[in-house]
Each structure stands twice: as structure tokens, then as C-alpha cells.
Amino acid sequence: MTTKPERAAFIDRRLAELYPATPIPLDHKDPFTLLIAVLLSAQSTDKGVNKVTPRLFALADTPEKMMRLPVEQIREIIKPCGLSPAKAKNIAALSRLLVERHGGQVPRTFEELEALPGVGHKTASVVMAQAFGVPAFPVDTHIHRLAQRWKLTNGKNVEQTEADLKKLFPREHWNQLHLRIIFFGREHCTARGCDGTVCEICRTMGSRRKTQTPSGLSRRR
């Protein structure tokens, strides 16, 4: 497999075999709670987020309720996730904007989502894909690293990686495929656990690149 399309086709097929089901790793019950959970996941783990959101959502699981919580109370609850001062302010501010500008509903466009405090393109992409079923390809550190390792992109930032992956994979596969790559990266092809000879896909790809720098990742995701 010497060409990018050949590598992409194998990866797409093999990951679908390994992960036929693609459950969303962040616990949520609707677009609003998913939005908050994704925002909290910046510089944190899904497991860490899932530990704090039950307490937060027990107090406020709608924008109307969340905007009434004091920022300091939000901050105290989400502190284990890191970056809690900024995240708490953003959660309070975006909740108020959802009520004032969107009738208490999470908007269904990238432009409107990315206009919310603390919401970048990656967060908006996750919400569009997983809450509304709109094809998107959110790129996190796992995807950025593996796309480089598997020679699907030479992008120096997540924007270029996203663009390259969208060209290589069928649009109708994007929403499941981005989760499958994340699952595989966590389970089989970790940053330090695979030198290009350990996991099945790296062996098949003939990938021996030992280091990838997940550049272009910002706190506003």
C-alpha cells in the first residue's frame, strides 16, 4: 500500500471491523450536555469529564439552569478537569447566550456554534456530528498523531490534517471513523506505546515514524 487512497481504504475497512459500534465516550443526554462535556474535555480526559458532569448536570442540565449557577460554583465542580476558571466562565456565558439568542437550544450550524464562548471548530464539529448527525471530522491529538504516523497527512496543524482526511475518506463515514481512530489510538497505538512496529495498522502501513508532534491544538477547541 503505497498511495494515500490505498492506505485510507485499508484503515477505513479495518477500523470498521474492529469497532462496528461507535459509542460517544462523553456521557450526555442531549445536545446541550454534550456541548458542555466536549468543552470540558479540553486538556482533560473523557474519563475525567465523566466523573464531574453527573454532579454538574444534577444541578443544571439546561442552559436556563446553568446560567443561574454562580461561576464559582461551576468552577469548583469542574476543577478536576483543569483550566477551570476559563471553562467555568465560558460555560456560564454560553448558557446565557443560548437562552438570549437561540431560545435555549444549541444551534445547528458551525458558524453559530463557533461564535459561542470557548467553542472552537473541534468542539463544534463533535456537536454537529454526534448531536445532529452532520458529517464532520473532529481532529484531536489521537487523530492528528495517527494521521501523521499512517502517512495520511503531513499537516503541521489540525486544520490541515482535517482537510486531508476529509479528502481521503467517504463523507458518510466521517462521523464514525473519527471515533474509531480515537478508540484505536487509545487502545493499540498510543503516543509512546507504538514505534511503528507494534500495532497491526502501523505494521501493515510500514509506518516507522517514532515521534509525532500534535501541534496546532489550542485550548479553544
Distance CA 38, CA 98 (A): 16
CATH of domain 31-130: 1.10.340.30
Q: Which residues are catalytic?
A: 122, 140
pLDDT tens, residue by residue, 95-114: 999 999 999 999 999 999 99
Q: Are 136 and 125 in contact (CB under 8 A)?
A: yes
Using CA atoms, how far residue 55 sits from 59, 63, 77, 123, 168, in Å, is 7, 16, 7, 22, 41
Question: Which stretches of the chain score pLDDT less than 50?
Answer: 210-219
- What is the distance between the alpha carbons of residues 26 and 34, in angstroms, rounded to a whole number? 7
Please tell me the pTM assigned to this model. Answer: 0.88
Task: Provide the 8-state DSSP code for 104.
Answer: T
In the prediction, which pLDDT does 213 show?
A: 42
Four-way CATH pick for 4-22+137-205: 1.10.3720.10, 3.30.830.10, 1.10.1670.10, 1.20.59.10: 1.10.1670.10
Q: Which residues of 37-69 are buried (b: 16+ CB within 10 A; e: fewer)?
A: bbbbbbebebebbbebbeebbeebbbbeebbeb
pLDDT at 214: 43
Q: Spell out the domain ranges in the chain.
A: 4-22+137-205, 31-130
Give pLDDT, residue 215: 40
- What local confidence, expressed as pLDDT, does residue 199 receive? 87
pLDDT at residue 192, rounded to an integer: 81
